Amino acid sequence: MLFVGDCNSYAAKGSNIRWFKCPEVLKRRDMTNLHHLPEMMHGYCDAKLSDQAIMDEVKSADLVIGDGMYLCSSLIADKFSLPHVTVLESSLTTATATSPYNVAELPSYIPQFLSRMTDNMSFLQRAKNTLRWLVNRILYPRMPRIAFLELKKKHQITPEKTLEETFQKVDLILVQTEPFEYPRPLLPNTKLVGPLLSSPAKPLPDDLKEFVRRSGDEGVILVSFGSILGEIDDKKIEIMAAAFSGLPQRVIWKLNTKGKSLKIGSNVKVASWLPQNDILGHPKTRLFIGHAGMNGMLEAAYHGVPMICVPFFGDQFDNAVAAKRFGMAETLDKETITEKTLVNAINTVLNNTGYRTSAARISKSIRLHPRTPLQQAADWIEYTQAQGGLARLRPRGLDLPFYQLYLLDVVFVAILLLIGGFAVVRLLITCVFRTCFEATPSKEKSH
């Protein structure tokens, strides 16, 4: 069964869907504001835990699968002592900064959340990245505590355990973001399976099919800023409309035009909803312009479509940097974007074959796996269920605070001992010098 809040109207309908009522406050909050995340996670999780019908169904389950960024599934799995698999759509860097998994994050070559760096850093960048690592370890653990500590007490979930112990009861971590992960050491319970939502393209609806067919050799450009970013500043929309209307390519643009008066060229088709995966998989699609949300990036990577990333918030800035680092994208700043810079970026990506070559290489790396991402994920989930959990794959490091994980306490004591040793040696040398080389008072001759 899949449990979904009724505030997520975009969720698929089906016989295996169970709906619970979202608090009204969640429907009014700006999901792009990170400061609202603790309140949103708290409200969503409390609504789920308070729904007795849903809890009765969960109680008889064999296994819990949850979102790795929204940690409510950790509470539910611990409440009923069920095996727990968590699925990450955001990168490991984002998840380990905002979630208590304690995955090894060496700041010498692994860029930290919100650092906007790659794995190739100068000395100054490594210093900044290390500072960001420290800030993330101090700042972000507060977010889940604010969101879930009161809930753990309210619903009496394993009172004998700390919140951190409940969070760290995860048997398996499935990572979708393989194409954009920098090489790093992985723990035995962390599996890179690839994008789960990307799939071969289905035929387009008749209106879109005809629009794309008429694009000729120039092809089409898909523009989409996600389900929660439909409301873009009107001035930016006018800039984009002017840029797109002057292109030789046809543009399919996901945009809510209600209440807007836009001058749009005949080469631009606007719709409030689009079959994004199917458009990206069409052979005439030349470019994808988006906000660098990981789902859209993974679909573009799967179909080998180069990108222009215009990040808005959170991990999108790091995602955009990674896409550019791997050669399949260019980035633009949403605050300073102009018609000229947008057109120049489009021409750069379309006219330089390197972007499409890199995108094709990444697509090939996804498709050449012996089993698809969905099959791999299903294999591991079924294996976890059959085993009744994979506690044996959980390294002890998952239970350690970061200062123990990175031996900072040992280094601190070693430095103290070293300083103490130097002090003792210096004191001994000083005593020897005073004893051997100080002038002794001369004896007066007796008369």
CATH assignment of the domain containing 347? 3.40.50.2000
The set of residues, in sequence order, having a beta carbon less than 8 Å from that of 318 and lying 6+ positions away, is 91, 93, 94, 111, 113, 114, 115, 116
Question: Does a structural domain hold residue 423?
Answer: no
- CB contact at 8 A, 255 and 270: yes
Report if residue 430 sits inside a domain: no
Query: Count of domains in the chain?
Result: 2
Kindly write down the DSSP assignment for every residue of 175-206, as one continuous string: ES-GGGPPP----TTEEE---SS--PPPPPPH
Q: Which pTM value belongs to this model?
A: 0.85
| Same domain assignment for residues 296 and 216 | yes
Give 81's DSSP letter.
Answer: T
Shared domain for 83 and 112, answered yes or no, is: yes
> 116 and 210 share a domain?
no
Task: Report the pLDDT value the prediction gives residue 169, as an integer from 0 to 100.
Answer: 83
pLDDT in tens, 371-424: 999 999 999 999 999 999 998 887 777 777 778 877 889 999 999 999 999 999
- For the chain, the first-to-last Cα distance in angstroms comes to 114
Give CA–CA dist 164/428, Å, rounded: 48
pLDDT of residue 306 exceeding 90, the answer is yes
Coil/strand/helix, residue 49: helix
Task: Categorize the per-residue pLDDT at 92 as very low, low, confident or very high, splitting at 50, 70 and 90.
Answer: confident
C-alpha–C-alpha distance, residues 437 and 70, integer Å: 71
Higher pLDDT pick, 267 / 403? 267
Q: Does residue 106 belong to any structural domain of this protein?
A: yes
- Indicate whether 293 and 332 sit together in one domain: yes
- Tell me, yes or no, whether 293 and 397 share the same domain: no
Could you tell me if 31 and 10 are in contact, meaning their C-beta atoms sit under 8 angstroms apart?
A: no
Q: Determine the Cα–Cα distance for residues 392 and 269; give it in Å rounded to an integer.
A: 54
Q: What is the pLDDT of residues 108-144, one digit of tens each?
A: 999 998 899 999 999 999 999 999 988 887 877 777 8
Backbone angles phi and psi of 252, in degrees to 5:
-105, 120
Query: Residues 183-230: pLDDT tens digits?
Result: 988 888 899 999 999 999 999 999 999 999 999 999 999 999 876 555
Mean pLDDT, the chain, rounded, equals 88
Residue 19 vs residue 148, higher pLDDT: 148
254 contacts 224 by C-beta, under 8 angstroms: yes
Q: In which residue are the tokens 């019908």 written? A: 53
Higher pLDDT, 200 or 439: 200
Q: Which domain holds residue 173?
A: 2-197+371-404
pLDDT at 98: 60
pLDDT > 90 fraction of the chain, expressed in percent and rounded: 60
- In what helix (H) or strand (E) does residue 321 lie, and over which residues does it extend? helix 316-325
Q: 107 with 42, same domain? A: yes
If you average pLDDT over each of 25-29, 169-173, 226-230, 379-383, which comes out highest? Answer: 379-383
- 269, 172: one domain: no
What is the chain's alpha carbon radius of gyration, rounded to the nearest angstrom? 28
Supply the CATH number for residue 192's domain: 3.40.50
